[in-house]
Amino acid sequence: MAAAVVPPFLFATSDTPMIQGEGGRVIALPDPRTDSDMSVEAALRERHSVRDYSDEPLRLGEISQVLWAAQGVTHGYGRTAPSAGALFPLELYVVAVRVDGLEPGLYKYRIGDHELLEVTRENVHSDLVDAALSQDCVADAAAVIVIGAVVERTAVKYGGRAERYVHMEVGAVAENVCLQAAALGLGTVYVGAFNDKRVKQVLGMPREEAPFALFPVGRPRGP
């Protein structure tokens, strides 16, 4: 039996060409946990859209856990969310605003190494808020996770159905993010209303990549 072919973009290394942050500081993330006191059923019960966040910062371990839930490597080169043909078109960005242990700025998640690459420490948050139509949930979040995708990766095998499959994959990741946030006692909401071109510019995405979803994350504001 032939050995499985691992897609070259799956495990980014320090030598892998990146976006404008190439050569930037790398932040090792805390190891994700693989069990907790909350069951899947309880997380499903607790999951709901949260748009109102307090000023309290997030912990780096919480960002680590949410990113792992979204696209973490589980076994071999499998991930926490399914991918058509194991072609893995998705890319994750973090706009950090109030995260203990993480300077405000823009980061890209390096999935294979479970770490963040610093793209810039410039305040891109206000520009992202503008690109997201000035929604309060994006403005008030302690961090915003952005899902981007390179549709061409999936189109290599699936042609004209690729974008459909990418949307399906984004949906699977979205539910993982929402359930993990619920399990951590955090709030998030699936945001699809934004100016695509402007978000792409703010994050410095390469030509072949496009934004698909935003997830503001924060601690829910009390009653």
Per-residue confidence at 23, pLDDT binned at 50, 70, 90?
low
Q: Domain count of the chain?
A: 1
Task: Judge whether 6 lies within some domain.
Answer: no
142-181 burial, b at 16+ Cβ within 10 Å, e below that, comes to bbbbbbbbbbebbbeebeeebbebbeebbeebbebbbbbb
Task: Judge whether 23 lies within some domain.
Answer: no
Q: Give the domain extent around 139.
A: 38-218
- What pLDDT does residue 75 have? 86
CATH of the domain at 58: 3.40.109.10
What rounded mean pLDDT belongs to the chain?
A: 90
- What pLDDT does residue 2 have? 35
Task: Judge whether 25 lies within some domain.
Answer: no
Task: Judge whether 186 lies within some domain.
Answer: yes
- What pLDDT does residue 222 have? 74
Beta strands in 121-204 (DSSP E): 143-149, 187-188
Structure tokens at 4: 């499985």
Mean pLDDT of 16-38: 75
Contact 116, 94 (CB under 8 A): yes
Task: Judge whether 30 lies within some domain.
Answer: no
Task: Judge whether 129 lies within some domain.
Answer: yes
pLDDT digits (tens, 9 = 90+) for 160-217: 999 999 999 999 999 999 999 999 999 999 999 999 999 999 999 999 999 999 999 9
pTM exceeding the 0.75 threshold for the entire prediction: yes
Task: Judge whether 7 lies within some domain.
Answer: no
Task: Judge whether 19 lies within some domain.
Answer: no
Contact 105, 96 (CB under 8 A): yes
Mean pLDDT of 13-18: 33
Q: Any idea how long the chain is?
A: 223
